[in-house]
């Protein structure tokens, strides 16, 4: 089994973080297709565990995050671990104002 350690990031980690971000963007169909796998490592589970530990230490009472609708594997992963789909169960919707829309709103009389 590959060894890894979850720790706070430093500036020396920037190249690796950028690589991970690019891989995620590809996985989410936002760049050239790259398929990530979870086989044998469990890094994602350990990251989620560490984020939960940090949140509890900082007295957070919940975590919110986004998953694209087509990503059924991630939806199932989070649901199995106790996350609730607010958009489905509580009727929440995520909205975005583009910069152009914000300029229009800011200039309304």
Q: Can you tell me the mean pLDDT for 88-104?
A: 79
Q: Is 72 a member of any domain?
A: yes
Is 81 a member of any domain? Answer: yes
Residue 9 has pLDDT above 70, yes or no: yes
Residue 94 within a domain: yes
Residue 21 lies in a domain: no
Q: Is residue 1 part of a domain?
A: no
Q: At residue 103, does pLDDT exceed 80?
A: yes
Per-residue pLDDT at 32: 58
Predicted pLDDT at 58: 92
Structural domain includes residue 69 = yes
The range of the structural domain enclosing residue 102 comes to 64-108
For 12-71, the pLDDT digits (tens) are 776 787 788 778 778 877 765 444 433 475 667 878 888 899 999 999 888 888 887 777
- Name the domain count of the chain: 1
Q: Which of 78, 82, 99, 104 is catalytic?
A: 78
Is residue 37 included in any domain, yes or no?
no
The structure tokens listed for 98 are 């583009």
Give a yes or no: residue 47 inside a domain: no
Q: Enumerate helices (H) and strands (E) in the chain, giving the number of each.
A: 5, 0
Residue 78 known to be catalytic: yes
């Amino acid at each position: 089994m590959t060894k890894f350690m979850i720790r706070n990031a430093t500036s020396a980690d920037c190249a690796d973080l950028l690589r991970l971000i690019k891989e995620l963007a590809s996985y989410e169909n936002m760049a050239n297709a790259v398929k990530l796998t979870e086989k044998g490592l469990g890094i994602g589970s350990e990251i989620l565990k560490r984020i939960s530990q940090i949140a509890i230490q900082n007295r957070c009472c919940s975590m919110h995050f986004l998953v694209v609708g087509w990503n059924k594997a991630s939806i199932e992963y989070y649901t199995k671990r106790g996350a609730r789909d607010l958009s489905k169960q509580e009727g929440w919707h995520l909205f975005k104002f583009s910069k152009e829309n914000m300029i229009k709103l800011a200039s309304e009389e």
